[in-house]
Amino acid sequence: MAKNLLIVESPAKAKTIEKILGSDFEVKSCYGHIRDLEKDEMGIDVKKGFKPRYIVPEDKQKVVKELKQLAKKSGEVWLATDEDREGEAISWHLCEVLDLDPLITKRIVFHEITKPAIKSAVDKPRTVNMNLVNAQQARRILDRIVGFELSPVLWRKMSMRGNLSAGRVQSVAVRIIVERERAINAFKAISSFKVEGFFHAKDLNGKKIIFKAEGSKKANAEDAEQFLNGCIGASYKVTDIQKKPARKSPAAPFTTSTLQQEASRKLGYGVSKTMLIAQKLYEAGHITYMRTDSVNLSDTAMQDISKQIASSYGKEYLQTRKFKNKNESAQEAHEAIRPTYMDKNQVDIADGQRLYDLIWKRTMASQMSDAELEKTVAQINISTNSEILQAEGEVMKFDGFLKVYNEGRDEEDEMEEQSTEGMLPPLVVGQSLELKELLATERYTRPQPRYTEASLVKKLEELGIGRPSTYAPTISTVLKRGYVEKRDKEGIKRDFRLLKLSENKITKVIEQENTGAEKSKLFPTDLGAVITDFLIQHFDNVMDYGFTAKIENEFDNIADGKEDWSLMLNEFYKPFKKEVEETMEKAERISGERDLGIDPVSGKKVIARMGRYGPMVQIGDSADTEDKPKFAKLKTDQSIETIVLDEALELFKLPRTLGQFENENVQVNIGRFGPYIAHDKQFYSLPKEFDPYEVTLEEATPIITEKRQAKSERTIKVFEKEKIQLLKGPYGPYIKKGLRNFPIPKEQQDNVQDLKIDEVQKMIEYAIANPSKGKRRAKK
C-alpha cells in the first residue's frame, strides 16, 4: 500500500516527525507559505468583495511541483502545518494547489515534536477550519491594501529619491523611534541632592569596613547645605533594625522576543545575528524552533530538565513551574525555545556556543527553586536633626536558580531601581556609629534611553505588532529604507556639585560627569521623522499604536465565525481609500520645513527642510530666480527638528573656495575622515594645525605641492579613468582604488611597471573575494 504523505512547514521538523511516525508516512515540508497575492493591481478585486488573486511565487514553484507529484502517488495526504492562523491558511492553500477537498482532508496539529504529542494528534485528525483561514486572508489583504496604497502616496509626495515604503508594522515601528527621540530632545533634567552617610564599622571577623546609609529626601542646594551644617558635631545611633525575607523567581523560558533581548543585553548581538545563529542551532537539532511566542515546555522536556537539575545541583534546587503567557496576541503554535537534550553542553556550530549556553541556562533556571534572600533595613538617627538615614543590606540565604542564571536588565528598568544590594555589618539597636563622612551629591533626572534593536522588539511585542518571524526583518527594513539609523552617540560633560562633611568641616567641590552617551542605539533620520508626521497627519487610524490590536480583535471574531471578513475589510477600506485619494490630490509635498530665522548678512530667510538629496538648510527663497538660494547639507548628527540658526549659518562657511591655483579651484571642506583640501580632482587631508574655517590660499598651496610631491615619489603608475593607482609602500608596492588599498601578489611585485589595468582589476576582485588575507596583513 502507498505511504501516506504528511506535510509540515519546516524541513527540519519533517525529518524528526518521519522518524516518530515510522513506515506508514512520508513526511515532507512545504517551506512556509506556498502562495501569495499577485502583485499587479494589488492582487485583489476590491469590487468583487475583496476577492484575492493568488499565485505560486517563482521561488516556490519547485516545491509545489514536487508536492504535487508526491501527492498523486501517495495514499492519503495529511496536513500538519502549524496551529495558528498562518498555518491554517497554508493548509488551505495546499488543498487548493494539490486538488484536495478541504472538507475531508485530514488536518492535524501539535505544539511540540514529541512522540506522544504527534501520536495523539494522528489519532484525532480534524479538517481545515475555514473561519480561521478567512481571518488569515483578511489579515493578508488588509496588510497588502495598507502597504500598496500608502507607499505610492509617499512616492508622489516625497522629493527624496529611494525606495520608500509604508506599512502597518514598519511605519509604527518608526513612529516609536521618532517619538522617543522627541521626548529625549524635549527632556529637561532636574537636579536634586541625595544625602549619603558613610560609617565605620567592623564585620563578623572584626575587620574594619565602611558602610553606607541614605537619606530619604531629595533636597535642593540650599536645603542640602543647611542639612550638612546642622550635622556638624552630631552623633549617630542605630534606632531600629528590620529583617525581612524576600524571594526571587526565575524568568520564563525563552520566546523569540526574550531571546533577542537577552542576547542583546548579554552578548551584544543584533536581532538578525541572534536569529541566524539560532536557526543554525535549530537545523543541527540542538534547540527547538526559534520563532515562537510560547513559554510552554513539553512534558518530556520538563522531565529531562528536572532530571538534569536534580543530578547536577540536587533535589533542593528543583521547583517545576508552568509559565503563562502575558501576551494576549500570542498564538502559541510551538514550544518555548529550549535545548532538545539537556545533557548536551557543547555544540559544534560557529558562534553558536554562547547563544546555546544562554538558552540552556535560561531553560534550567526556569525550573529551579526561588532564590531566598534576607533584606535588612537599619534606621540611623542623627542627634541634631530629625532626618533619618537608612542602611539597606541583602544577604542570600539560598541561591536557587541564581546558581545558573540571572536575567539581564534594560537601562529603562535600571533607572527605577536604585538597588543597594550588598552586605551590612552586624548592627544592634542602640549602637553608636562613627561617621566617616556625609555627602550631598547633586543628581540629575535622566530621559528615557533610546531603543536598541531588541528593546524595540520588546515594545512592538507589547503593542501586539508584528510576529516572531518578522521582528528581525522589520528592523532591517526600517534601517534599509533610511528611516532609522543605528549608531553611537558621544556623551557630553556636565558639572555636578558635591558637598562633603568630614571631620566637622564642610567642603564644596564641582565635579564632572559624562551624560547621554549611547552605544548602538536607534535614531530616527529626518526622512523617518517627516514621513512619520505626514502619515500621522493623514492616516492617524493606521498609525495608531492600538490599530493592530483593534483589527486583531476583529480577526479573532472572523476566526470565531462571528464576523464576515469581506464586510470587515470594507468597513476599513471605504474611509481609508477616500483619505488616500484626497491626500494624493490635495496634500502638499512632504518637506518638514522649519523657519530658523534671518541671515544677518543677506537679510534673507533661513529654513531647514528635506531636499532632493536629504535634509538641508537653505538661505533665500526657492522661487527667487534673480538671486538664487544657497543650500547646505546637514551633518549626520544634526536634524531639521533641532538645528538652530547659528549652526545652520556655520554650514555655509564650508565648502569654502579659497581661490585658484594652477587654474583650478582650491576648496576646503570637512569629509568623513576630517577636513580636506580639494584641488584638480585630488583630495589632500588638511594637517591638524590648520583650521578649515580659517585656512588661506597662501597656506593651502604649499600643502598641495608638498603632498603632491610626496605622492609622486610613491606613485608607480596611474590608471586615471578608473581612479586606480599603483603606489610604493614601506612593505612593497600596492594598489589604491579610491580610498581602499589592495595587495599585489608576491610573484607579480617585481614587474609592477608592466601591469595592465585588467590584471590590476583581477587582483582587486581577488582581494575582495578573499578578505582573510587582507585582514591578517592589516592587523600587523
Q: Name residues contacting DNA, limited to 78-107 (CB under 7 A).
A: 82, 84-87
What is the spatial distance between Cα 279 and Cα 173, in angstroms, rounded to a whole number? 24
- Which of the residues 355 through 374 are near DNA (CB under 7 A)? none
**Per CB under 7 A, 769 contacts DNA:** yes
- The strand pair at 4-8 and 77-79 is best described as parallel
Q: Which is nearer to DNA, 341 or 613 (CB)?
A: 613
**Per CB under 7 A, 379 contacts DNA:** no
Q: How far is the CB of 211 from DNA (least distance, A)?
A: 52
With CB under 7 A as the contact rule, the residue among 7, 118, 166, 178 that binds DNA is: 166
- CB-count burial class (<10 Å; 0-12, 13-18, 19+) for 701: middle
**Per CB under 7 A, 344 contacts DNA:** no
- Which of the residues 708 through 767 are near DNA (CB under 7 A)? 738-739
Rg for the chain, CA atoms, rounded: 33
What is the spatial distance between Cα 50 and Cα 137, in angstroms, rounded to a whole number? 10
Site string for DNA, 389-428 (x = CB under 7 A): ----------------------------------------
**Per CB under 7 A, 351 contacts DNA:** no
With CB under 7 A as the contact rule, the residue among 447, 611, 692, 774 that binds DNA is: 611
Give the type of residue at 362. R
What is the spatial distance between Cα 390 and Cα 239, in angstroms, rounded to a whole number? 10
Is 289 annotated as catalytic?
Answer: yes
Q: How far is the CB of 161 from DNA (least distance, A)?
A: 9
Distance from first CA to last CA of the chain, Å, rounded?
68
Cβ proximity of 666 and 660 under 8 Å: yes
Q: How far is the CB of 631 from DNA (least distance, A)?
A: 3
Helix residue ranges per DSSP H, 419-516: 453-462, 471-480
**Per CB under 7 A, 286 contacts DNA:** no
**Per CB under 7 A, 175 contacts DNA:** no
Catalytic residue among 282, 289, 471, 684: 289
Q: Which is nearer to DNA, 220 or 709 (CB)?
A: 709
User: Please, how many CA atoms are within 13 Å of residue 321, restricted to the half-sphere of its CB?
Assistant: 20
What is the spatial distance between Cα 239 and Cα 432, in angstroms, rounded to a whole number? 9
What is the spatial distance between Cα 624 and Cα 88, in angstroms, rounded to a whole number? 61
Q: Which is nearer to DNA, 279 or 515 (CB)?
A: 279
**Per CB under 7 A, 538 contacts DNA:** no
Per-residue HEC secondary structure of 214-260 comes to EEEEEECHHHHHHHHHHCCCCCEEEEEEEEEEEEECCCCCECHHHHH
**Per CB under 7 A, 12 contacts DNA:** yes
Q: Which is nearer to DNA, 61 or 235 (CB)?
A: 61
Number of residues binding to DNA, judged by CB under 7 A: 75
- The number of beta carbons lying within 10 Å of the beta carbon of residue 78 is 22
Q: How far is the CB of 406 from DNA (least distance, A)?
A: 30
**Per CB under 7 A, 112 contacts DNA:** no
DSSP E strands, 399-466:
432-444
- Which of the residues 192 through 211 are near DNA (CB under 7 A)? none
**Per CB under 7 A, 10 contacts DNA:** yes
- Which of the residues 615 through 654 are near DNA (CB under 7 A)? 616, 622, 631-633
- The strand pair at 740-743 and 724-729 is best described as unpaired
> Is the bond preceding 655 in cis, omega lying within 30 degrees of 0?
yes
Q: How far is the CB of 684 from DNA (least distance, A)?
A: 8
What is the spatial distance between Cα 679 and Cα 705, in angstroms, rounded to a whole number? 11
- Which of the residues 669 through 688 are near DNA (CB under 7 A)? 669, 671-673, 676, 678, 683, 685
Q: Which is nearer to DNA, 664 or 694 (CB)?
A: 664
Q: How far is the CB of 220 from DNA (least distance, A)?
A: 47
User: Please, how many CA atoms are within 13 Å of residue 61, restricted to the half-sphere of its CB?
Assistant: 4
Q: How far is the CB of 737 from DNA (least distance, A)?
A: 10
What is the spatial distance between Cα 326 and Cα 295, in angstroms, rounded to a whole number? 10
What is the spatial distance between Cα 622 and Cα 619, in angstroms, rounded to a whole number? 9
**Per CB under 7 A, 774 contacts DNA:** no
Nearest to 80 by CA among 1, 3, 2, 5: 5
DSSP label at residue 55: E
**Per CB under 7 A, 169 contacts DNA:** yes
**Per CB under 7 A, 476 contacts DNA:** no
**Per CB under 7 A, 335 contacts DNA:** no
What is the spatial distance between Cα 571 and Cα 592, in angstroms, rounded to a whole number? 32
What is the spatial distance between Cα 578 and Cα 584, in angstroms, rounded to a whole number? 10
With CB under 7 A as the contact rule, the residue among 50, 193, 289, 539 that binds DNA is: 289
- Which of the residues 32 through 51 are near DNA (CB under 7 A)? 32-33, 36-37, 39
- The strand pair at 208-219 and 191-202 is best described as antiparallel
Q: Which is nearer to DNA, 237 or 594 (CB)?
A: 594
Q: How far is the CB of 251 from DNA (least distance, A)?
A: 23
**Per CB under 7 A, 449 contacts DNA:** no
With CB under 7 A as the contact rule, the residue among 11, 230, 285, 692 that binds DNA is: 11
What is the spatial distance between Cα 461 and Cα 459, in angstroms, rounded to a whole number? 5
Q: Which stretch binds DNA (CB under 7 A): 4-12, 108-116, 484-492, 704-712?
A: 4-12
Q: Which residue has the cell 598651496?
A: 701
- Which of the residues 559 through 598 are near DNA (CB under 7 A)? 589
Q: Which stretch binds DNA (CB under 7 A): 5-13, 127-135, 362-370, 600-608?
A: 5-13
With CB under 7 A as the contact rule, the residue among 91, 105, 137, 171 that binds DNA is: 171
Active site residues: 289
